[in-house]
Structure 1
Amino acid sequence: MKTSNFMMMLFALSSFTSVAFAQTKVSESELKKNVTPISGALTVVNSLEPVTYNYNTQLLKGVKFPSGTQYGFNTDNVQSVLPGVVRTESKLYPAGKGSMQSADVKTVDLQSMVPVLLGAIKEQQQQIDALKAEVQSLRRGSNSNTSAAIKSDK
């Protein structure tokens, strides 16, 4: 009898578990709307100014910023070119006994910049391929002109 009660309880738990953890499969095309390729990425990348910098740790004492030389972007520059990748984060820091103050700090969402950078690489590769084809064409034309000149000299 104990075994059958135990089995019924296991069955009830397994039924509950399968309902509680049911998964819905959603395709990317269902999830994302208004999908368009990124164009003009090379122009955007050429407008960005990568910089090195150090945080002024004295300005907001108590806010933990990384030490040493940092690599990144000036957020004002990025915001003028790609406003959608600049975020504002509120940083809390001590402002006296038992009180906190908040400072809004702009940051660049580097992960969101990756597709733009990849788009720029692809645009550059198209330019490189076009230039390679042009060089090949010029070499063929130069070789045929040279051989024609040699034949006319004979």
Structure 2
Amino acid sequence: MKTSNFIAVLSALSLFSTVSFAQSKVSENQLKQNVTPIKGALSAVNQIEPISYNYNNQLNGLKLPGGTQYGFNADNVQSVLPNIVRTQSMLPAAPRKGSVQSVDIKTVDVQSLVPVLLGAIKEQQQQIDALKAEVQALRTKGGSNTSAAIK
């Protein structure tokens, strides 16, 4: 009897949650405002220096990953793309007696960097396409002598 009552309650809750929490669809246009293409992405990417590094594990007892890390210097990225740098507060793993101090660490939101990288790739492709067209025009204009020299 208890089992059947339990199943009946679960069924009722399941039905309630299905009815009450029905999904509604929201289009991208409804969700986002002030949508503009990213301009100058290639210039921004050229200013960002990818680095490899090791964390200083002696710093304030923070438990940071060991070994070689790959990423960016947050100060460098912030000077170019300030909106993708975040400040994260971290507590030491073993705080000193009587004092619990957090340490603020800047981090790069790499996911937000992806659209900028894609924009840079697209800008490069436009440059490549323009250069291909220029080479083709030179080949056509100069005849076979120019074609042989370019290859």
The two structures have a TM-score, normalised by structure 1, of 0.81
One-letter code of the match for 1:84? Answer: N
Distance 2:126 2:135 in 1: 14
How far did residue 24 of structure 1 move?
A: 1.6
SS of the equivalent of 1:118 reads helix
Question: How far apart in 2 are the matches of 1:139 and 1:28?
Answer: 45
Q: What residue is the counterpart of 1:133 in the other structure?
A: 133
CA displacement at 1:100 relative to structure 2 = 2.7
Which residue pairs with 1:83 in the alignment?
Answer: 82
Pairs within 5 Å for 1:1-154: 15-61=15-61, 63-93=62-92, 94-97=94-97, 99-143=99-143
> How much does 1:84 deviate?
0.4
Q: Secondary structure at the match of 1:30?
A: helix
Structural RMSD (CA) = 2.4
For structure 2, list consecutive stretches of 5 or more residues without a partner in the other structure.
1-7, 147-151
Seen in structure 2, the aligned counterparts of structure 1 residues 59 and 138 have a Cα distance that, compared at 3 Å, is same
* CA-to-aligned-CA distance 1:94-138 (integer Å, 9 cap, x gap): 322475320000000000000000000000000000000100110
Q: Structure 1: how far apart are the matches of 2:119 and 2:12?
A: 53
Per-residue Cα deviation, 1:39-62 (whole angstroms, up to 9, x for no partner)? 11000001111111110110121x
Runs of 4+ aligned residues of structure 1 deviating over 6 Å after TM superposition are 8-11
Cα 1:99/1:15, change in 2 over 3 Å: same
Counterpart secondary structure, 2:101: strand
Q: What amino acid does structure 1 have at the position aligned with 2:21?
A: F
Q: Give, in angstroms, the shift of residue 142 of structure 1.
A: 1.2
Letter in 1 for 2:87: T
- Provide the secondary structure at the position in 2 that maps to 1:101: coil
Structure 2 length-normalised TM: 0.82
Letter aligned with residue 83 of structure 1? P
Distance (whole Å) between structure 1 residues aligned to residue 81 and residue 115 of structure 2: 12
Distance 1:12 1:73, change over 3 A: closer
Counterparts of 1:137 and 1:55 in 2: how far apart (Å)?
53
- Aligned-pair CA distance for 1:18: 2.9
For 2:11 and 2:80, the matched residues in 1 are separated by 59
